[in-house]
Amino acid sequence: KNLVQIPKEFQSRAVPYAKLISKLEQVKAITNNTPLTLAEKILYSHLCDPEESLTSSNLHDIRGLEYLKLNPDRVAMQDASAQMAMLQFMTTGLPQTSVPASIHCDHLIVGKDGESKDLPSSITTNKEVFDFLQSCADKYGIQFWGPGSGIIHQIVLENFSLPGLMMLGTDSHTPNAGGLGSIAIGVGGADAVDALTGTPWELKAPKILGVKLTGKLHDWTSPKDVITKLAGVLTVRGGTGYIVEYFGEGVESLSCTGMATICNMGAEIGATTSTFPYQEAHGRYLKATGRGILADAAEAALNNYNFLKADQGAQYDKVVEINLSELEPHVNGPFTPDLSTPISEFGSKTLKENWPQKISAGLIGSCTNSSYQDMSRAVHLVNQASKAGLKPRIPFFVTPGSEQIRATLERDGIIKTFKDNGATVLANACGPCIGQWDRQDVPKTSKETNSIFTSFNRNFRARNDGNRNTMNFLTSPEMVTAMIYSGDAQFNPITDSIKLDDGSDFKFVPPQGLELPEDGFLLGRKEFYPPVDPTPDSSVEIKVSPTSDRLQLLEPFKPWSGEELKTNVLMKVEGKCTTDHISAAGVWLKYKGHLENISYNTLIGAQNKETGEVNKAYDFDGTAYGIPELMMKWKQDKIPWTVVAEHNYGEGSAREHAALSPKFLGGQIILVKSFARIHETNLKKQGVLPLTFAEEADYDRISSGDALETLSLVDMVAKDGANGGELDVKITKPSGESFTIKAKHTMSKDQIAFFKAGSAINHIGETSRA
């Protein structure tokens, strides 16, 4: 009662508010009406069984400690990660997915000359993979968004994300959907298979980080600056173990798409996800994207049941405050998204740090920043420059996030203005954001550093053009656009002028744009839209050629032997080791569906602590190998191995190949100072044992070639992990000298079951057969 009846055509896209609210009432009863944050309300209303998960009436006692078993509402997968998710789903033998799901072909599309050339050639190159994904979608009743239809997160925002929704996505920027009030979490394919098979999905109860926004965005400042500033404050590890929840009157000055930009880049601070309470901007966006009835449903849940916003008195574990009225545009980078510099200090910093003075390219769009508001503000600057007779001084690329946004921008003359002013408009796909930039002006192997300005979200080495010496500075689309007219790192568009040919000075006025298109959104080319509710078709045959180099059916990993693990340290990694270092993207993306072939990228970006070399590891006799080559050799020689590393190992993305490949190559233990959450979970899902040093200084006592064996694993497994704890690990040097250290683990009972079975998928298969 007091909730909106949802018509049939919207039912698979609606949030089951009645069910969630009744679960929440159960939660309230257990917790004696403890005030809840918004994130807790959404998360706990998706618990399979509140009685089982909420072991204490004090929710603070479970944050960061207990595992929650959850039933997500939906799954979204991008083409690179969907291959492995589907290969794993196939091994379960189920006829269809348990929840609505979608596949999006976006990562495999190259960015070079523009959509008309890049899209057909990318479709040809990746035909086998797209056909495989389409046949899986047809067989299991999954929505298939083909190449050119758009980027996963933009399509999810336009079609699926909703206030109160809980979804999983096989991409680390899945939290983008939090801009529309969802709890959307980036996971690997094995986690997606949990949701797709109706298996409870486990998450350690997150802590809640409140970000209070005061004041109002103004002039040059954009939503991007909220998150680039926050990344500077919290660093790439600051959000680990937290859901970030925004509140405060400053939220009211944000558009829905602006909130999505902020949530998208919550991944850059390591947060589990980010979300916003229901706003009028959400209602406006839902109506503009043809979902007015779902806006009414959300408003009824908010107004009648106080759902979709935090309770009065809800407690955050930490609060950060940002005053939007004082916020300045920021530029983050190079090589890490938390190196944050206000634009007023950027020029002097480039001199101090000896960064290039010439900017070599500007790129806007992607899943992070291709909204109507972003593009209309950017084009406002282009129009000003064009009127003054200015032309871009450096290459300029625009990536629309979806066919809907592209078609709308085209109708409103924005695409034409970009093109008339020298921009290359790329396909509606990831392109340069994921290393698929076929860059013509700077060779991949160039030893000279060059700087690019992008409105993307991630800037690890080689991320965009495959060149380790390209410095990617992340900033708002407005800043990138202004910068292409100067190309000079010293230029601050807010205060500085550009000399025109006639000697006069040109100065930009602050950008202006529209939150939403005045004439509504245009869907664009119909062929890009799949049916809303696809029916599974068991007669569809999924073909994988045994000679394919792109796709390979999965062989289940062997179960645990039941004994202590006896391994050798293959290599000690120094410093930052992101999922890009562990499982490089770029050219390797094409092998995502072929575990053996892609495994030859394992840790090729990692630096050897003992020699300072990248992608070099040494066999017992001192022979040098590439890291994956030595792993393969040890696999063949039946020598199980451990890799030792430093902080935030696996930072960056949900890339499950960063866990699958080490397991495939014979890795049994990853021992580090700390893990990024998604990667740690991915390792557990593949049956690799993730351990952290109890004493960080022990990192220095271990060398490659040392024997490393667990002493109390059997006992730990017998106790079902006891929800985390310590293990004794014995290190033996080649000289025979040995010592024992303590290592911590965070294995839950279910994760112990995965470990025993050899992988989570093996366990799901065993359970569904039983």
Question: What are the residues binding ligand F3S (CB under 6 A)?
Answer: 106-107, 151-153, 171, 173, 366-367, 430, 433-434, 457
SS3 500: coil
C-alpha span between 690 and 250 (Å, rounded): 40
Non-local (6+) Cβ contacts of 93 within 8 A are: 765, 768
27/192 with CB nearer ligand F3S: 192
Report the DSSP pairing between strands 498-499 and 725-732: unpaired
CB of 346 to ligand F3S, least distance (A): 23
Only one residue has tokens 């599309």, namely 109
| H-run or E-run covering 364 | strand 359-365
**Rounded distance between C-alpha atoms, residue 742 and residue 51, angstroms:** 34
Helix axes 677-685, 760-769, angle to 10 degrees: 50
Report residue 377 as tokens: 């503000």
Residue-wise DSSP of 679-701? HHHHHHHTT-EEEEESSGGGGGG
Residue 16 CB coordination number (10 Å): 17
- For the bound state, the minimum distance from the C-beta of residue 504 to ligand F3S, rounded and expressed in Å, comes to 39
**Distance between CA atoms of residues 452 and 434, nearest Å:** 15
E strand spans, 218-272: 242-247
Of residues 199 and 457, the one with the C-beta less far from ligand F3S: 457
Q: How far is CA 261 from CA 153, 313, 368, 719, in A?
A: 10, 28, 5, 43
State the DSSP code for 665: T
**Is-contact 484 393, C-beta < 8 A?**
yes
Instruction: Choose between 37 and 159: whose C-beta lies nearer to ligand F3S.
Output: 159
Closer to ligand F3S by Cβ: residue 380 or 463: 463
Q: How far is the CB of 151 from ligand F3S (least distance, A)?
A: 5
Distance CA 606, CA 640 (A): 19
Which sign, positive or negative, has the C-alpha torsion 401, 10, 174, 128?
Answer: negative
Give me the active site residues, please. 106-107, 171, 458, 653, 655
Strand order across the 470-474 sheet: 340-342, 330-332, 470-474, 450-454, 359-365, 396-399, 424-425
Q: Which is nearer to ligand F3S, 150 or 628 (CB)?
A: 150
Cβ distance to ligand F3S smaller for residue 366 or 417: 366
Residue 215, burial from CB neighbour count under 10 angstroms (0-12, 13-18, 19+): middle
Residue 505 Cβ vs ligand F3S, minimum distance, rounded to whole Å: 36
Does 559 sit behind a cis peptide bond, omega within 30 degrees of 0 on the bond before it? no
Q: Which residues contact 704 (CB under 8 A, 6 or more apart)?
A: 569, 570, 571, 572, 608, 610, 617, 618
697 by Cβ neighbours in 10 Å (0-12 / 13-18 / 19+) ranks as: exposed
Indicate the residue among 248 and 652 with the shorter CB distance to ligand F3S.
Answer: 652
Closest CB 748 distance from ligand F3S, rounded Å: 29
If the CB atoms of residues 85 and 433 are measured against ligand F3S, the closer one turns out to be 433
Distance between CA atoms of residues 110 and 430, nearest Å: 8
Measured from the CB of residue 269, what is the shortest distance to ligand F3S in angstroms? 15
- Report in angstroms how near the CB of residue 176 gets to ligand F3S at its nearest: 8
- Cβ closest to ligand F3S, residue 62 vs residue 110: 110
**HSE-up (13 A, CA, CB side) for residue 242:** 27
CB of 582 to ligand F3S, least distance (A): 17
Please state at what angle helix 127-140 crosses helix 79-92, rounded to 10 degrees.
50
Phi (first) and psi of residue 678, to 5 degrees: -65, -40
What residues contact residue 117 under an 8 Å CB cut-off, 6+ apart?
A: none
Max Cα-Cα span within the chain: 81
Smallest gap, in angstroms, from Cβ of residue 152 to ligand F3S? Answer: 5
Q: What are phi and psi of 3, to 5 degrees?
A: -115, 160
| Smallest separation, CB 211 to ligand F3S (Å) | 21
The DSSP H or E segment spanning 761 is: helix 760-769
Show the CA angle centred on residue 108, arms to residues 102 and 111, nearest 5°.
Answer: 125
Minimum distance of ligand F3S from residue 365's CB (angstroms): 8
The least CB distance from residue 677 to ligand F3S, in Å, is 18
Helix (H) or strand (E) holding 463: none
b/e per residue, 604-624, with b = 16+ CB within 10 A? bbbbbbeeeeebbbbbeeeee
CA separation for the pair 375, 706 (Å, rounded): 55
- The residue among 173 and 406 lying less far from ligand F3S, judged by its C-beta, is 173
Q: How far is the CB of 585 from ligand F3S (least distance, A)?
A: 8
501 CB neighbour count, 10 Å cutoff: 8
Smaller CB separation from ligand F3S, 153 or 550 = 153
Q: Which is nearer to ligand F3S, 53 or 264 (CB)?
A: 264
Residue number, 366 or 746, with CB nearest to ligand F3S:
366
Of 402, 328, 392, nearest to 365 by C-alpha is 402
